[in-house]
Amino acid sequence: MAESEYNATGVRIERALRSLTRAGQVRISGGRLSLLTSYGTEIDSAPLGAVEAHKPLFAARDRALAVLNGNRYSLTLGTRDRFLNAVEAARRPRA
C-alpha cells in the first residue's frame, strides 16, 4: 500500500445524529475519499481536494469529522490521527 493510501475498517459512520453503519470502511485511494458500509456499498465519495477533515473540539479522541459533497459525517475510528495524517499526505503534491 502506498503512503498516500489509507484503509480503515470497523468505522462507525454517522450523519446528522443518525448512524449509517457501525462497521463501515473509510478508504483513500486514487485521490478520492470513500465511505463504505459494512457490505461494501458506497455511502459517499469525493476527490480529496473537495474534502474537509478535522478533529472536533469537544469529542472523544477517536472521533473525526469529514465533509464530503456538502454532507457532514462523524467518524468513530480507532486512530483518528492516522486518518487525518493520511488525508493531508494524500493532498500533498508528489515530487
CA dist 42 to 10, 25, 32, 92, 93, Å?
A: 15, 9, 12, 25, 27
The model's confidence at residue 64, banded by pLDDT at 50, 70 and 90, is very high
For residue 59, what are the domain limits? Answer: 6-91
With respect to residue 45, please indicate whether it lies within any of the assigned structural domains: yes
Average pLDDT of the segment spanning 61-89:
89
pLDDT digits (tens, 9 = 90+) for 13-54: 999 889 999 999 999 998 899 999 999 999 999 999 999 999
Mean residue pLDDT of the chain comes to: 88
How many distinct structural domains can be found in the chain?
A: 1
Rounded to two decimals, the pTM is 0.86
Residue 14 covered by a domain: yes
| 39 assigned to some structural domain | yes
Task: State residue 95's pLDDT score.
Answer: 62
Q: Would you state the pLDDT for residue 4?
A: 52
| CATH code of 20's domain | 2.30.29.30
